[in-house]
Amino acid sequence: PRAIHLKDYRVPPFLIDRTELHFELGEKATLVKSRLSMRRNPDSDEGDAALQLHGDTSLVLRRLQLDGKDLSVSDYQRDDESLTIAQLPDNFVLECVTLIKPQENTSLEGLYKSNGMFCTQCEAEGFRKITFYLDRPDVMSVFTTTIVANRQDYPVLLSNGNPVEQGEQEDGRHWCRWDDPFKKPAYLFALVAGKLEQVDDSFTTQSGREVALRLFVEPQNLDKCDHALASLKRSMAWDEQVYGREYDLDIFMIVAVDHFNMGAMENKGLNIFNSSCVLANPATTTDAGFQRIEGIVGHEYFHNWSGNRVTCRDWFQLSLKEGFTVFRDAEFSADMGSRTVKRIEDVSLLRTAQFAEDAGPMAHPVRPASYIEISNFYTLTVYEKGAEVVRMIHTLLGAEQFRKGSDLYFERHDGQAVTTDDFIQAMEDASGIDLGQFRRWYSQAGTPVVEVSDDYDAEQRRYRLKVRQHCPATPESDSKQPFHIPLAVGLLDEQGNDLDLGDGQTTKILHLTEAEQEFVFEGIDSQPLPSLLRGFSAPVKLRYPYSAEQLVFLMAHDSDGFNRWDAGQRLAVDLMQGLISDYQQGRELVLDRSLVEAYTKVLSDRSLDPAMVAKLLLLPSEAYLAELAEVIDPEAIHLVREFVKRELAQALQGLLMDAYRHNRSEGDYQLNADAIARRSLQNAALSYLMTLEQPRILVLAQHQFASADNMTDQLAALSLIAHSGFESERQQALSEFYQQWQQDPLVVNQWLSVQATSPRDDSLTQVKALMAQPLFDLTNPNRVRALIGAFCGQNAVQFHRADGEGYRFLADQVIALDKLNPQIASRLLTPLTRWKRYDSRRQALMRAQLERIMAGELSKDSYEIVSKSLA
């Protein structure tokens, strides 16, 4: 497999003005007829270059016609990936008939079947599995799609745009034609055919146009549609208010499918969703699930402007649409719920998973410079770090100038395929602010480290911050230029009040642009305590030698909600790192009182939002502790975290019990911010209490499990009981839950994950046993993620068992899956790619499995990941 480089980009030599597609859907085979109105691109410098259409090996070419005349095999050349035709006129019509077999397509890319329904996934390069085409995002065309299928099995026939015509045939087949007036690249094409029910709604845009909203689901899911539709309407209103963006077609459709490689897809006017990211009701969906769905529905909807109306020139620019759209959906969620809680969740993900990616063998810039398989670059770096980069632009420009910039961007580039540089340029042009150095965030990989020290001169009433930045080497480059980092800073006085930093400002943005800089604050009456990187103003690792007392103080007083939480995290991390090394040295573990004191304050402070209390109580995750470790010791991390949790539970029993009782509501389920917050605190408290292994607490959990009227409470209780040492009770709860929910595949997935993430020593055996049951299906990515993904990715202590069986298990699964679904196989590999972070024994075991995978025949997807990991 060969790498593709950004520097080799050339404009397409041909354009496609019109694309007319005709699908004859069948059980044995599907015929795809295309009629492409093409011309040479006047902007191309490739002269009379041949036309090279993308086309997967699986396409069976039945007929090819140029301007109505048949072409014979000597008129074109075919290889594994393309079809080449030379000596073409400047304008022509190319017609092509291909035969494909969607029912055999387990890659879930291109046209495939899920539970008897036909559906498509074309991003990034799936359209070439449907027909021969210029399958690149800078070739934008107007599409008309006709779908013909048996009416009985496929009463619903959908594609992009507006339905314009339909009819019946004599043979029991019917057809429907769709017209999409907006030019789009092939990756936004979609087709769905199946026995689907629909729920209708509508939205009136700010200019008074009525848009029909339609959610299509399998009949058994009709009671799970309300939340997605309500989220969609909120998204549409939000994008009008915050970005001035109105929806453009008369109809917006969402389809839920069970077999899907990722969360959802923003196809023009016809979003296709993984059923797990759209279907919800209180009995089957947790609060986190509801919030996730709202965010994803928003994300896909927002793509209509940031992605579809303005799209990417090439796939190196992926973050142009993804980073920006994640930023948009995060702000949407922040506006719909608690801003601080949303920020805490996003930063937690970034600091654990994205920072780990940035420090691993697959590290790449937000705008990668090369790839072997683009599917491997739908990463936390492109999405989450990309969103942080857009957030920093927002910080540097301020809300008003940022809005001017986005307006200019959408206006200037509507209908175009552009680059991240075009985005920055629009921001610069609209605001007049220089983002020259800032652009390095797009081209340099790695997580910058920012080290801060300070001194205070009482006589001069002067406070100074010394700041140094550096960025560790990553595979693509050893030396990094300094980044432009907006560092948001506040200074607290002895009472914990913010100092005025000029003009009544209590938070100031310091512009770090050099490797070393000094910032001076004048007129400071006493030694202040700095609150640094407020709101996590840049995706960096911040170092400042805070003492435990200072952190406890910040936890109680910082006016920045994010930093209050982060002070608690720092305090806990410091203590736990000490305990991890105590454990490794065989010393007795003793928990320092500072954490107990801090948590006592948190639990006693009735003025705090319960959601915030729940977040403050959550100890740093094992994944975060691993990311911070020099050499990761999964066992020590797990045991120490459990120890700290138990010690805290012992010391705070009374307060935790109060928090549990006070926030628990039996019956009267509600889904609003207040109720969600209370449930989160209730379940956080129960999770601490369960570590005490007391029968009376077990009874509480069992009662909650049995009486719950919502999945949040039921699943929280199940997972605590299932991960406990109460043997018969855990088996009973697991089997009752399965009995109750076996008909609901999404809930069964949750049940699988609970077992896969159990820290008990028998969990690998359990996972294997579950895989052997008929309910498991290697061709269903949700099942694979729920069981194999959860075990390997979220159960560090068992995946990293000393005997290496976890690694062998993952390698076995990847080898089997790579033949069926390369995208899922290569995703699953992530935990093995981090082998360099472990002790030498584990390194050898992990490496051996990577080498075993490498020895077989591999997809491009897995080849890229494994070869880069071993390099």
Enumerate binding residues for ligand B3K (CB under 6 A). 123-124, 262, 264-266, 299-300, 303, 322, 375, 378
* HEC readout, 526-585: CCCEEEECHHHCCCCEEECCCCHHHHHHHHHHCCCHHHHHHHHHHHHHHHHHHHHHHHHC
Q: Positive or negative, the Cα torsion across 360, 366, 372, 374?
A: positive
The minimum distance between CB 159 and ligand B3K, in angstroms, equals 18
Interstrand relation of 30-40 and 91-100 (parallel, antiparallel or unpaired)? antiparallel
Q: Give the whole-angstrom CA distance, residue 180 versus residue 190.
A: 11
Which CB atom, from 384 or from 558, has the smaller least distance to Zn ion?
Answer: 384
864 interacts with, out of Zn ion, ligand B3K, none, CB within 5 to 8 A per kind: none
In angstroms, what is the minimal distance from the CB of 306 to Zn ion? 9
Find the binding residues for Zn ion in span 301-330 (CB under 5 A): 322, 325
The 3-state secondary structure of 361-415, one letter per residue: CCCCCCCCCEECCHHHHCCHHHHHHHHHHHHHHHHHHHHHHHHHHHHHHHHHHCC
Relative to beta strand 173-184, strand 141-150 is antiparallel
Write the Ramachandran bin of 535: left for phi over 0, alpha for psi from -120 to 50, otherwise beta: left
Supply angle C-alpha 248, 316, 538, rounded to 5. 85
Which token pair is 55?
Answer: 């086309």
Three-class SS of residue 504?
coil
Q: How many helices (H) and strands (E) does the chain have?
A: 30, 31
Q: Taking a C-beta distance cutoff of 8 angstroms, is the pair 858, 868 a contact?
A: no
615, 608 Cβ separation under 8 angstroms: no
Q: Rounded to whole angstroms, how far apart are CA atoms 395 and 23?
A: 48
Given the complex with Zn ion, which of 138 and 322 has the nearer CB atom?
A: 322
Residue 229 binds which entry of ligand B3K, Zn ion, none, CB below 5-8 Å type-dependent:
none
User: In angstroms, what is the minimal distance from the CB of 440 to ligand B3K?
Assistant: 25
Q: Which is nearer to Zn ion, 322 or 818 (CB)?
A: 322
Q: What are phi and psi of 171, to 5 degrees?
A: -85, 20
Partner from Zn ion, ligand B3K, none contacting 265, C-beta within 5 to 8 A by type: ligand B3K
Residue of closest CB approach to ligand B3K: 123
Least separation, in Å, of the C-beta of 426 and ligand B3K? Answer: 22
388 binds, among Zn ion, ligand B3K, none (CB under 5 to 8 A by kind): none
The listed partner (Zn ion, ligand B3K, none) that binds 124, CB under 5 to 8 Å by sort, is: ligand B3K
Sorted by sequence, the CB contacts under 8 Å of residue 869 that are 6+ apart come out as 360, 361, 362, 829, 832, 833, 835, 850
Q: List the single partner that 88 binds among ligand B3K, Zn ion, none, CB under 5 to 8 Å by kind.
A: none
Query: 807, 846 in Cβ contact below 8 A?
Result: yes
Q: Which is nearer to Zn ion, 371 or 583 (CB)?
A: 371
Min dist. Cβ of residue 247 to ligand B3K (A): 17
Count of residues of this chain found to bind Zn ion when the rule CB under 5 A is applied: 2
Q: How far apart are CA 150 and CA 849, in angstroms?
A: 47
Of 387 and 721, which CB lies nearer to ligand B3K in the complex structure?
387
Q: Whose CA is closest to 416, among 11, 41, 133, 138?
A: 138
Given 125, 218, 300, 384, the catalytic residue: 300
Q: What is the side-by-side strand order in the sheet with 76-78?
A: 51-54, 82-85, 76-78
Instruction: From the list ligand B3K, Zn ion, none, pick the one residue 262 interacts with, judged by a Cβ distance below 5 to 8 Å according to partner type.
Output: ligand B3K
For 8, the token pair is: 């080799």
CB of 329 vs ligand B3K, minimal distance in Å: 9
Kindly report the number of other CB atoms within 10 A of residue 117's CB atom. 22
Contacts with Zn ion in 368-387 (CB under 5 A)? none
149 vs 265 by CB, closer to ligand B3K: 265
Contact present, 534 and 489 (Cβ < 8 Å): yes
Query: Nearest distance from residue 316's CB to ligand B3K, in Å?
Result: 15
CB of 289 to ligand B3K, least distance (A): 18
Interatomic CA distance for residues 736 and 718, integer angstroms: 10
Judged by beta carbon distances under 5 to 8 A according to partner kind, the member of ligand B3K, Zn ion, none in contact with residue 713 is none
| 277 token code pair | 């990211």
Q: Report how far residue 126's alpha carbon sits from residue 130's, in angstroms, rounded to the nearest whole number.
A: 7
| String of DSSP letters for 420-475 | HHHHHHHHHHHH----TGGGHHHH--S--EEEEEEEEETTTTEEEEEEEEE---BT
In whole angstroms, the minimum distance from the beta carbon of 5 to ligand B3K comes to 20
Pick from 69, 55, 14, 22: nearest CA to 38:
14
Which tokens sit at 333? 């969620």
Residues contacting residue 490 through CB under 8 Å, at least 6 positions apart: 498, 499, 501, 506, 507, 508, 530, 531, 534, 558, 559, 560, 563
Give all strands of the β-sheet with 91-100 in edge-to-edge order: 69-70, 60-66, 91-100, 30-40, 14-24, 141-150, 173-184, 162-168
Q: How far is the CB of 538 from ligand B3K (least distance, A)?
A: 23
In the bound state with Zn ion, the residue whose beta carbon lies nearer, of 262 and 659, is 262
In angstroms, what is the minimal distance from the CB of 326 to ligand B3K? Answer: 8
- The entry of Zn ion, ligand B3K, none that residue 346 binds, CB within 5 to 8 Å by partner kind: none
* Nearer Cβ to ligand B3K (126/568): 126
Residue 375, contacted partner among Zn ion, ligand B3K, none, CB below 5-8 A by kind: ligand B3K
Please say which residue, 375 or 719, places its beta carbon nearer to ligand B3K. 375
Closest distance of CB 261 from ligand B3K, Å = 6
Picked from ligand B3K, Zn ion, none, the partner binding residue 385 (CB below 5 to 8 A depending on kind) is: none
Question: Is 300 annotated as catalytic?
Answer: yes
Between 124 and 372, CB nearer to ligand B3K: 124
Cβ–Cβ < 8 Å for 35, 95: yes
> Is residue 80 exposed (0-12), middle (13-18) or buried (19+ Cβ within 10 Å)?
exposed
Nearer to ligand B3K by Cβ, of 375 and 757: the residue is 375
Binding partner of 551, given Zn ion, ligand B3K, none, CB within 5-8 angstroms per partner class: none
Nearest alpha carbon to residue 320 among 393, 221, 243, 212: 393
Q: Which is nearer to ligand B3K, 180 or 300 (CB)?
A: 300
The partner in contact with residue 378, picked from ligand B3K, Zn ion, none with C-beta cut-offs of 5 to 8 angstroms by kind, is ligand B3K
Say how far apart CA 728 and CA 730 lie, in whole Å: 5
Measured from the CB atom, the residue of 256 and 467 that comes closer to ligand B3K is 256
Distance CA 232, CA 298 (A): 6
Q: In whole angstroms, how close is the CB of 506 to Zn ion at the nearest point?
A: 35
| Catalytically annotated residues | 300
Q: Which residues bind Zn ion (CB under 5 A)?
A: 322, 325
